[in-house]
Chain A
Amino acid sequence: MKRFLQALLFFVAMGLLWEALFRARLWSPVLVPSPVTVGQYLWEALRDGTLASAILVTLKRLLLGYVFGLALGLPLGLLTARFRLLADTLGLLALGLQALPSVCWVPLALLWFGQTEAAMFFVVVMGTLWSVIIATDNGVRNVPPIYARAARTMGSSGLHTWLVVILPAALPFIVGGMKQGWAFAWRSLMAAEIYVTILSGFGLGHLLHYGRELNAMEQVIGIMLVLLVIGLLADKIFFSPWERFLHRRWGTAK
């Protein structure tokens, strides 16, 4: 509770500082609108439904691509850790592509898929996939061999060992990779939405883009605040429970 109040106090103070800077008229109000104006924009967008539908469109794209990327990346990471040949081929490719800023996939996706949902999906999957492969591979390689040996003496072998021993043992690394994959997917999706207009749905990136086109700073800042809150919530809702679980079981420092 105390920590929550501290955080609240911090953000209220930031808001007050912002309002003070606005009132000092150091910059044009077009460039630095009052937090009240931004609040009014968000309230309006919420009432006419544009905000809710944009959030829905964006999160749907993100989740779809992310889940697919995970479902593909986890088994591939296990395979590259298991087979030398795959590590030397697919593993190397993943290592290279993971370092590629995921925005770089946007031009390619546009040429291949046009201004479609498929392009968005592709970009998010590419953002997720490679870091999940690398993290899973890395996690498996860091599992102490004694775990598998102990499991073998107890009658575990083959696929059973992989599912019941190696996978859970690699979990701390895998969750780290999932988190990184999430961050990459989120970034690449925003880039794609700002970059490309797709008629099948206006996401948060589009609202941000049109805010700029219309010189509507309150919209730009408002949407950025929404993005920030979504990022925070995703971390607190999806990843914090996992990390707490790992912390409790492994006794690792947070």
Chain B
Amino acid sequence: MNLPSEIAAEALSSKLSVQGVSKTYHSGARRVHALDNVSLEVGEGEFVCLVGPSGCGKSTLLSVIAGLDQADAGQVLTDGAPVVGPGRDRMVMFQESALFPWLDAIGNVMFGLRLKPGLDNAERRKVAEYYLHLVGLEKFHHAFVHELSGGMKQRVALARALAPNPRVLLMDEPFGALDALTREQLYGDIQRIWQQRKKTIVFVTHNVREAVCLGDRVVLFSPHPGRIREQFKIDLPRPRDINSVELARHATAITAALKHHVRPETEAGE
């Protein structure tokens, strides 16, 4: 198969630098201090997981990095250049798949490619087919969204996010709504694809084991206001199995830290 240069080209990743980002938004009459002076460095090709209870601002941070939301203060740099809006160098995978129901699977994957200059339609199709194959859905090119299971939807969403060859992949609790078995398969797939395509990944979750299974580093957030509390380097060999004892031990330690940081806030707030 003669793949377009698009795929053959060296996969690239970016360095991310979050500098003193604060964000407050209004939810009805309530002011929510979602992020308070958050700074974070993510290395090229690093897999970083943001963990914390709901309302800790981790999803807001992801939106700010994506350029979908504006920070009130501070800035985000990708390879030294400030983020001013959404860009194809940073693709997002959302909690719900956010696939377009009026397009079939390959149509969804091609959506972003159609907006990418320098490709003709045959090349776009080839690229889309390559990524659908990568996520294991080569037999479902023409399936409509409602015909796919939850796990398959997220696979299409992953292919759609990967297709424009971004340098950074931002994942917002992408497996939250899936059953345990499907999730385990996707943990394997995402690690394989990450190693193959060398993306910088920022992955938001409230599941500590998931974070330990996937991340090179786990960053702990606490809510009201959203702040980074602690960071854990995970040195386990890959591919990692979520059921391994070693992994569970890391997760237990992080969960203990999480409880320590969060308890006072939850009693006062939620």
Contact = CB atoms under 8 A, between A and B. Distances in A.
Interface of A: 144, 146-147, 149-156, 160, 165, 168-169, 171, 248-251
Nearest to B68: A149
Contact of A165 (B66, B91, B100, B160): B100
Given A248-B144, A251-B144, A251-B146, A153 B100 contact: no
B102 A155 contact: no
* Pairs of residues from A and B, 10 with the lowest C-beta to C-beta distance, nearest first: A251-B146, A154-B112, A155-B115, A150-B98, A168-B102, A146-B98, A152-B86, A153-B92, A153-B86, A250-B101
Contacts of B23: none
* Band of interface residues on B: 20 to 34
B92 A156 contact: no
11 contacts: A146-B96, A149-B68, A150-B94, A152-B68, A153-B91, A155-B112, A169-B100, A171-B102, A249-B145, A250-B146, A251-B144
Interface string B134-154: 000000000011110000000
Nearest to A145: B98
Contact of A154 (B88, B94, B146): B88
Contacts of B101: 169, 249-251
Contacts of A146: 94, 96, 98
A156 B113 CA distance: 11
A153 B86 CA distance: 5
Contacts of A169: 100-102
Nearest to B104: A249
Contact of A151 (B102, B111, B146): B111
Contacts of A156: 111, 115
A155 B86 contact: yes
B156 to A, nearest CB: 12
A229 to B, nearest CB: 32
B144 A153 contact: no
A248 B146 CA distance: 9
A146 B87 CA distance: 16
B164 interface: yes
B98 A147 contact: yes
Contacts of A168: 100, 102
A154 B102 contact: no
B144 A249 contact: yes
A144 B96 CA distance: 11
Interface string B62-106: 000011100000000000000000111011101010101110000
Contacts of B86: 152-153, 155
Nearest to B92: A153
Contacts of B147: 251
Given A251-B144, A251-B147, A154 B98 contact: no
Scoring A146, A149, A150, A171 by chain B CB atoms within 10 A of each residue's CB, the highest score goes to A150
A153 B116 contact: no
A196 B188 CA distance: 74
A169 B101 CA distance: 8
Nearest to B91: A153
B108 to A, nearest CB: 10
A36 B22 CA distance: 82
A244 to B, nearest CB: 13
Nearest to A160: B115
Contacts of A153: 66-68, 86, 90-92
Contacts of A160: 115
A60 B186 CA distance: 58
Contacts of A155: 86-88, 112, 115-116, 164
B157 to A, nearest CB: 9
B63 to A, nearest CB: 8
Nearest to A168: B102
A218 B86 CA distance: 68
A153 B13 CA distance: 17
Scoring A153, A160, A249 by chain B CB atoms within 10 A of each residue's CB, the highest score goes to A153
A165 B111 CA distance: 10
A97 to B, nearest CB: 30
A165 B60 CA distance: 24
